[in-house]
Amino acid sequence: MKRLEEEGIVEIDMLRLPNEKQLWKGVAITECLQPIPCNPCKEVCPTNAIKMENINDPPILDYEKCIGCSLCVEVCPGLAMFVVRVRNGKAMITLPYEMLPVPERGQIVKALDRLGNVVGDAKVIAIKHGRTNVITIELDEKLAMVVRNIKVE
Ligand code: SF4
Ligand code: SF4
């Protein structure tokens, strides 16, 4: 947790990950791990898949209830919610994106890890425009838990 506290960097072993079946369906993964007074993700969730004993608690996902709708990705002010689906060797990652330019559907972008390193290419397969744009990319399944941002060139 030291790295999280000092640098705000989430590492994979800090996360409670979904199983293979849940990933095939596509579920939200929260990388919001520190206590802060915030709960729009819980409020917006249509299936009550996000648990939080009180507003300061980090959210806990019920992967069985989650339908992967990505509404929590759109409203999270901390840009800490993602939806991940893994099928047939491909990962589809839905992530928040507040930078410019906004990519176009079909565009190839750089896939970035949590430190901002380029780890491969990804194809933009869907964009939902809003105050926070919500972008879905497709890439190799090996990068499903590695990539959490994109770079548009
Ligand atoms: S993806 Fe949809 S169903 Fe799943 S936790 Fe987020 S808001 Fe709830
Ligand atoms: S909306 Fe985002 S920052 Fe706020 S509690 Fe939910 S995951 Fe954390």
> Which pLDDT does position 5 carry in this prediction?
72
Distance CA 52, CA 29 (A): 15
Domain segments of the chain: what residues? Answer: 20-151
Ranges under pLDDT 50 in the chain: none
User: Among 32, 50, 57, which residue has the most ligand 2 atoms within 8 Å of its CB, making it the best to mutate?
Assistant: 32
Residue 30: the pLDDT is 97
Q: Count Cα atoms within 13 angstroms, Cβ side, for 19.
A: 3
CB 15 within 8 A of CB 27: no
Query: Class for domain 20-151, per CATH?
Result: alpha beta
Return the pLDDT at 1. 60
Q: How much is the pLDDT for 4?
A: 73
**This prediction's pTM:** 0.95
Cα distance between residue 143 and residue 68, in whole Å: 18
- Pocket flag, ligand 2, residue 79 (CB < 6 Å): no
pLDDT of 147: 98
Instruction: Report the separation in Å between the CA atom of 143 and the middle of ligand 2, taken as the mean of its atom positions.
Output: 23
Residue 61 Cα: closest atom of ligand 1: 5
Q: Is the CB of 71 under 6 A from ligand 1?
A: yes
